[in-house]
């Protein structure tokens, strides 16, 4: 039931009580009942509204597999909750940033130049898969990404002004330069986070090359 509907019912009930009070001697006896019912309705819908607002901020359900991976990583229950809260907020910021960057050709150009959204999503996945390493991404989580979200929001707001003067254009140009630098930082955050993986890959490639060379040498010796 919508608020307008139950408000209408309250008004109608008040009108009924009024006429009962006018035409019947004991009509006033209905007032306590009215206020009790009205109070109950108000409390019910108030609690329901709060519950709906709370549900919007609830975390997505946690699968048993993901929960076990957090436990295996050594996270306590409180650490799991904090980690999930942080990553849920980060996911929303990345989605918001993607939507914002699609609103402007200049922002899309920045994204294409640095693969900003792609890097942010990839780093998000890496952190989720390695929760104990979250402190290594503090700059991304708490500085670079939030700042870029704020900057792009402000850029779009200014860029959408119907009337622009020289100062407005100068501010737009200055903003896009800063946004470009911040976007590059996010790409750098991802590259730093996976640097060890790249080093490991270099080692694996080197070993594979040595193995291939030894195998080739062996075949050449056999052919002689």
**Per-residue model confidence as pLDDT tens digits over 64-97:** 888 888 999 889 989 999 999 999 999 999 999 9
> Mean pLDDT, to the nearest integer, of 152-163?
88
User: Long-range contacts for 171-180 (Cβ within 8 Å, ≥24 apart)?
Assistant: 175/151, 176/106, 176/107, 176/110, 178/151, 179/107, 179/110, 179/148, 179/151, 179/152, 179/155, 180/110, 180/113, 180/114
Distance of alpha carbon 30 from alpha carbon 83, whole angstroms: 54
Token readout for 136 is 């290594």
Q: Which of 5-9, 43-47, 174-178, 200-204 has the highest mean pLDDT?
A: 174-178
Looking at residue 56, what is its pLDDT? 46
CA atoms within 13 A on the CB side of 127: 26
Min mean pLDDT across 53-62, 122-131, 153-162, 190-199 is at 53-62
28-47 burial: b if 16+ Cβ within 10 Å, else e: eebeeebeeeeeebeeeeee
Binning pLDDT at 50, 70 and 90, where does residue 209 land?
low
What's the token pair of residue 174? 């200055």
Burial class (CB in 10 A: 0-12, 13-18, 19+), 2: exposed
Tokens linked to 216: 């080739």
């Amino acid at each position: 039931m919508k608020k307008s509907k139950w408000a209408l019912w309250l008004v109608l009930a008040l009108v009924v009580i009024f006429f009962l009070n006018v035409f019947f001697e004991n009509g006033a006896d209905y007032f306590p009942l009215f206020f009790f019912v009205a109070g109950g309705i108000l409390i019910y819908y108030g609690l329901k509204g709060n519950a709906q607002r709370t549900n919007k901020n609830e975390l997505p359900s946690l699968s048993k597999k993901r929960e076990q991976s957090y436990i295996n990583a050594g996270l306590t229950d409180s650490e799991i909750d904090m980690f999930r809260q942080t990553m849920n907020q980060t996911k929303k910021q990345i989605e918001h940033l993607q939507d914002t960057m699609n609103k402007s050709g200049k922002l899309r150009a920045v994204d294409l130049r640095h693969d900003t959204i792609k890097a942010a999503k990839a780093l998000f996945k890496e952190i989720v898969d390695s929760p104990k390493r979250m402190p290594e991404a503090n700059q991304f989580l708490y500085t670079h990404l939030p700042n870029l979200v704020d900057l792009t929001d402000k850029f779009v707001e200014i860029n959408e002004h119907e009337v622009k003067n020289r100062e407005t254009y100068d501010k737009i140009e200055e903003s896009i330069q800063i946004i470009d630098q911040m976007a590059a930082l996010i790409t750098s955050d991802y590259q730093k986070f996976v640097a060890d993986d790249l080093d490991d890959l270099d080692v694996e490639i080197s070993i594979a090359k040595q193995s291939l060379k030894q195998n080739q040498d062996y075949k050449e010796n056999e052919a002689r």
